[in-house]
Structure 1
Amino acid sequence: MIRMLRARLIDLLGSADFARVYTLIALGTALSGFAIEHIASAWTLYSMMAGLAVVGAAMLWVRRRELTLIGFAPTMLLGFVLWALVSVAWAFDRWESFTGWLELLCYAFVAVTIAQVRDTMQVVRALGDVLRALLGLSIALEVLVGILLDTSFPQLAMPGDIAFLGPIQGMFGTRNMLAFVAMIAIATFFVEWRLRAVATGVAVGSLVLAGVSAALSASPTALVLACALAVALSVLLLIRRVRPGNRLDVHRALGIGVVLLGAVAYLFRERIFETVNAATALANRSALWSEVLRWVERRAIQGWGWYGDWLDEPFPFRTVNFLMGAPHESALNAYLDVTLQLGAVGLILFGGMCALAFARGWVMASERRSSVYLWMPLMLTVILVTSLAESFTLEGPGWLLLVLCIVTAGQARSWRTLILDRQDIPEPLPPDDRRPG
């Protein structure tokens, strides 16, 4: 009897249907994190994510013969997570730092599990279904609270301003988070439409839903994200029309241009901050960045220890908030936040894994005909551009989606495939070809 139950459990954990359900639940839980935490409790959310990590570990154990070190998790991602763990040693509040690292590890492990048990097409479909449900539910709640009941919803910090055309935030906590989710949805729904993965009416309706959500959020970052997404998509579609022999030159020119722009931005960073500070809507953000940079200089190499968000305000975040006179929960810039917490070493690892994933995704999207490969660079465009004005990518759904993109990119193009070539070991099938259903 026990053997039979064990065999059935193994079959269930290794099945494609269970993998699909796991992916839907994991993505839905992560993206609904704010609502779960504020309607139930933070421990409810932590328990759900920990349970998903345990189930994910069991799924990977059942599928262990399908897995190899190549493509399991990129080296720089592992280095970043390990460096965050090492930073606990010099953090002022080691317990808070360690629990922050456990959260980082949990979301990352769930993302790795999804990348191992589902291919890119299946992830796009699952994410599209989850985003349709959550954005639809957000608009429905806003209409219920702001129009039908004409009140507010304190549990979700929802003021109910949809009758005045926003700003709204849905079930995501802030209008900037809603704009971030809406732009991810636009990229996902567009790829679904190109792949004809859903009916045309569903695809068009989904794009309209995401566009309306972004517009009603009235987020200052929404327009920037829309422009970045449009530019990235236009350039990618143009490159796909270039002859294969000329694409390498185009990639080099684009890479040089991006590096030069980054160098110019760094050299003139003080003048840029002054210009940004002149805009009253961004004055507080610019002042926060300047204050964070002053604390970065005090521990430029190793940082102040990993915490993730600043919710409990350990040192030096409590001091930064005191000096700013406002309770910030992050540096409002993922790159500055990483540098503050993990120093230059952490920034190099974080920037390196993001840049490498983006480069891999960009090359795949330009070389391969299937539109499914457009999803990864478009997603990373939204995530990395958002990181300039928010720290969403260092926790919760933003971190999960970033790791998912990084691992998926590493599966397709990894330097470790050279080891197989030198040892004459047959390379495993790519994720898109090894799993049915």
Structure 2
Amino acid sequence: MATPSAPLLPSAARDFLGSAMFASAVASLIFLTGFGTHLIRSLIGWPGLVAVVLGLIGLAAVSLWFRRSHLEWHGTLPISLIVFVGWATVSISWATSTTVSGVRVGYLLAFGVLGFYVAVLRDTIQVVRAVGGALRTLLIVSLVLEVFSGVLIDMPIRFLGIEGRLASLGPIQGVFGTRNELGFVALIALITFAVETLTHSIPRTLGRWSLLLAAVCVLLSGSPVVIGVLAVVAVASLALFGVRRAPASVRWIWQIAIAAGVIIAGVLIWAVRGRVLSFLNAGSELETRLRLWQEMERYLATNPLQGWGWVGAWPTSPPFLWLNLATGTVNGTGLSAYVDVYFQLGLVGFVAFLALLGLALVRAWLLASDKKSVVYAWLALILVALATVSLAESSALFESGWLLLVVCSIKASRSMSWREALRRRVPGPGPVPSE
């Protein structure tokens, strides 16, 4: 009979649960789930997806417990992240449906917890490899299913949202539900595969084929939104690697020049926004967005400070039902993360979201500029992509986008925390030096 002090698990099991191999497997499963939510929902429904997410949280908790001696807790969570999530949680109290809002906040927190686990337990290069492995799998599955649907049987796979248009070169949706989501995931994959290849994390041949796979998916998605984001990411990449090659003594001048260029470009684009919108119209897609945003602005006038309460993806209840009826469309989001946050969390939540995304981007950019390893460029470019796509999609607020935002913000904060710098510079209590 075992004594009360006897371990509940054999030493081999404890060693496995606390091993880097187990942590790596959990991280890979987290990204497969985060990017594959549409596929999972299509196959086993919402209850199945929730069960998978809860199971991953359980595995992450076990892994954290057995690897707790490896963790450094000081300065881990950015205050901006805490404020945003905290305000979303508080908004349950004034939401039109507290039950729906409470469940959706719980869903937001669940992916936030998974992002926290990945950020604190895996190095940046390990995160890149986990994302790369997950996206290679999902993009290959997407192309296989598109070939099956659009070439072999020439029929859509409706329960997956695949329209079977590969034979006409798209647009395709893959296992992500919409062409915009496929295009954005493929863009994230393009950044990730490039960093994997440059850091020699994968064989060069695999890296080249992976880059080709991501580029093909971006093109076949036919998403004008993603093409625009790709252009911004390309310019940001050139600027970043230009700064990295500049001498350290003049690097700050380049940083100021880049910041000024971004501000000037933003002002110019705003000044000629009418022509820009006409150029990017791509049919009725942009008109749908503008009509929806105008209607959201009208409803927001009644709750400008606190918004209507956090619900994440839109439920089929007021005021979201009214918005869809007024615009004559069926929208599951506000088609812009910034507008969505403003509508759901008001001005306070909007400022908190800007602080979260902005601080994470600035920290990641400075890290990528100063650190020798190119792996830090991944954090900066992913955040550039998230900040840009948030103008036309709400991806950064849900599932894979939110997961990436949490991981990148925590990673950037841990490497460049003002609290940590303050702690190092302010001496603790000790003997008073003699004069």
1:12 shift after superposition: 2.7
AA of the residue aligned to 1:234: L
Q: Distance in 2 between matches of 1:419 and 1:65?
A: 25
Corresponding residue of 1:67: 71
Equivalent residues of 1:71, 1:407 under 8 A apart: no
1:271 shift after superposition: 8.8
Corresponding residue of 1:102: 106
Q: 1:355-402: per-residue Cα shift (whole Å, max 9, x none)?
A: 111111111111111111111111111111111111111111111111
Q: Is 1:223 equivalent to 2:227 in the alignment?
A: yes
Distance 1:148 1:274, change over 3 A: closer
1:129 shift after superposition: 1.0
Correspondent of 1:76 among 80, 87, 96: 80
RMSD: 2.1
Q: Distance in 1 between matches of 2:98 and 2:15?
A: 41
Corresponding residue of 1:435: none
Query: Which range moved further: 177-186 or 219-228?
Result: 219-228
Corresponding residue of 2:194: 190
Equivalent residues of 1:277, 1:286 under 8 A apart: no
AA of the residue aligned to 1:150: D
Corresponding residue of 1:317: 320
AA of the residue aligned to 1:241: R
Q: Is 1:287 equivalent to 2:288 in the alignment?
A: no
Q: Is 1:112 equivalent to 2:120 in the alignment?
A: no
Corresponding residue of 2:58: 54
Corresponding residue of 1:372: 375
Q: Distance in 1 between matches of 2:309 and 2:187?
A: 31
1:58 shift after superposition: 2.8
Q: Secondary structure at the match of 1:240?
A: helix
Correspondent of 1:258 among 256, 262, 287: 262
Q: Secondary structure at the match of 1:130?
A: helix
Matches within 5 A, 1:86-165: 86-165=90-169
Equivalent residues of 2:277, 2:286 under 8 A apart: no
Query: Which range moved further: 1-10 or 327-336?
Result: 1-10
Q: Is 1:408 equivalent to 2:425 in the alignment?
A: no
Matches within 5 A, 1:269-418: 280-310=284-314, 312-418=315-421
Q: 1:186-207: per-residue Cα shift (whole Å, max 9, x none)?
A: 0001001111111111111000
Question: Please, which runs of 5 or more residues in structure 1 have no aligned partner?
Answer: 426-437
Equivalent residues of 1:215, 1:222 under 8 A apart: no
Correspondent of 1:236 among 233, 236, 240: 240
Equivalent residues of 1:273, 1:286 under 8 A apart: no
Equivalent residues of 1:392, 1:399 under 8 A apart: yes
Q: Secondary structure at the match of 2:172?
A: coil
Q: 1:84-120: per-residue Cα shift (whole Å, max 9, x none)?
A: 0000000010000000100000001100101111100
Q: Distance in 2 between matches of 1:11 and 1:409?
A: 30
Equivalent residues of 2:28, 2:134 under 8 A apart: yes
Q: Distance in 2 between matches of 1:225 and 1:217?
A: 13
Q: Distance in 2 between matches of 1:300 and 1:306?
A: 14
Larger radius of gyration: 2
Equivalent residues of 1:71, 1:412 under 8 A apart: no
Equivalent residues of 2:17, 2:62 under 8 A apart: yes
Query: Which range moved further: 268-277 or 183-192?
Result: 268-277
Percent of matched pairs sharing the same residue: 38
Q: Distance in 1 between matches of 2:274 and 2:77?
A: 37
AA of the residue aligned to 2:133: D
Q: Is 1:85 equivalent to 2:89 in the alignment?
A: yes
AA of the residue aligned to 2:417: S
Q: Distance in 2 between matches of 1:224 and 1:275?
A: 11
Distance 1:68 1:389, change over 3 A: same
1:213 shift after superposition: 0.6
Q: Is 1:205 equivalent to 2:212 in the alignment?
A: no
Correspondent of 2:9 among 5, 17, 31: 5
AA of the residue aligned to 2:333: S
AA of the residue aligned to 2:380: P
Q: 1:22-70: per-residue Cα shift (whole Å, max 9, x none)?
A: 0111100111100100111111111111121122223223333433443
Distance 1:86 1:268, change over 3 A: farther
Equivalent residues of 2:224, 2:280 under 8 A apart: no
Equivalent residues of 1:277, 1:287 under 8 A apart: no
Alignment length (residue pairs): 424
1:256 shift after superposition: 3.2
AA of the residue aligned to 1:226: L
Q: 1:317-352: per-residue Cα shift (whole Å, max 9, x none)?
A: 111111111111111000000000001111111111
Question: Please, which runs of 5 or more residues in structure 2 have no aligned partner?
Answer: 429-435
1:237 shift after superposition: 1.1
Q: 1:247-269: per-residue Cα shift (whole Å, max 9, x none)?
A: 11221232233345446666887
* Bigger relative contact order, structure 1 or 2 (CA pairs below 8 A, ≥6 apart): 1
Q: Distance in 2 between matches of 1:207 and 1:316?
A: 43
Distance 1:18 1:378, change over 3 A: same
Q: Distance in 2 between matches of 1:178 and 1:117?
A: 28
Corresponding residue of 2:433: none
Corresponding residue of 2:431: none
Q: Distance in 2 between matches of 1:247 and 1:271?
A: 35
1:314 shift after superposition: 2.7
Corresponding residue of 1:433: none
AA of the residue aligned to 1:321: N
Q: Distance in 2 between matches of 1:344 and 1:11?
A: 48
Equivalent residues of 2:19, 2:67 under 8 A apart: no
Equivalent residues of 2:342, 2:349 under 8 A apart: yes
1:424 shift after superposition: 5.2
1:10 shift after superposition: 3.7
